[in-house]
């Protein structure tokens, strides 16, 4: 698995069953010969500490705490790199979450360096950007691992 190599990361953004394209090969009682294969693979130059997916725009957001405090975005349909953004408060972004919304959704970032949880508009570019939300949490710095947003 290339994802285990230092300095690289591989994300399989989706899977499809071969029975859609070749149903004659599938045993209908025990599903023998069924193959689940990725339909797109996204390769990065880093191992991501956090990922989140925008299901509306088919965008994968990925970050690595050691990769310059940026959030990169990739197409989950083609695997292509789209753009990146950086938050004004970002030091070592560790975890990501995405909350869909009518105006493009929101990317939430937990930062292991600054001890903050920040939020940015989906599809953000450039930076450093001022966050929509900035929560500074005592004791979070050097202890952050991820963020989950429930709707």
Greater model confidence, 97 or 64: 97
What is the greatest pairwise CA distance in the chain? 59
What angle is formed at CA 20 by the lines to CA 58 and CA 76, rounded to 5 degrees?
Answer: 15
First-to-last C-alpha distance (Å) of the chain? 34
The Cα–Cα gap between 98 and 74 comes to 14
* Candidate ranges 21-25, 28-32, 86-90; pick with highest mean pLDDT: 86-90
Angle at 43 between CA 67 and CA 70, to 5 degrees: 25
Specify the pLDDT at position 81: 93
């Amino acid at each position: 698995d290339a994802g285990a190599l230092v300095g690289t990361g591989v994300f399989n953004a989706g899977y499809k069953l071969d029975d859609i394209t070749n149903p004659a090969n599938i045993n209908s009682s025990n599903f023998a010969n069924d193959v689940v294969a990725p339909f797109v693979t996204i390769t990065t130059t880093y191992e991501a500490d956090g990922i989140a997916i925008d299901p509306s725009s088919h965008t994968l957001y990925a970050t690595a705490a050691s990769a310059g405090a940026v959030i990169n975005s990739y197409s989950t349909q083609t695997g292509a790199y789209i753009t990146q953004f950086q938050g004004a408060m970002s030091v070592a972004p560790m975890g990501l979450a995405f909350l869909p919304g009518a105006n493009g959704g929101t990317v939430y970032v937990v930062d292991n360096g600054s001890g903050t949880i920040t939020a940015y508009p989906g599809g953000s570019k450039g930076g450093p950007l001022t966050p929509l939300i900035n929560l500074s949490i005592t004791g979070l710095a050097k202890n952050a691992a991820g963020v989950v947003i429930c709707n």
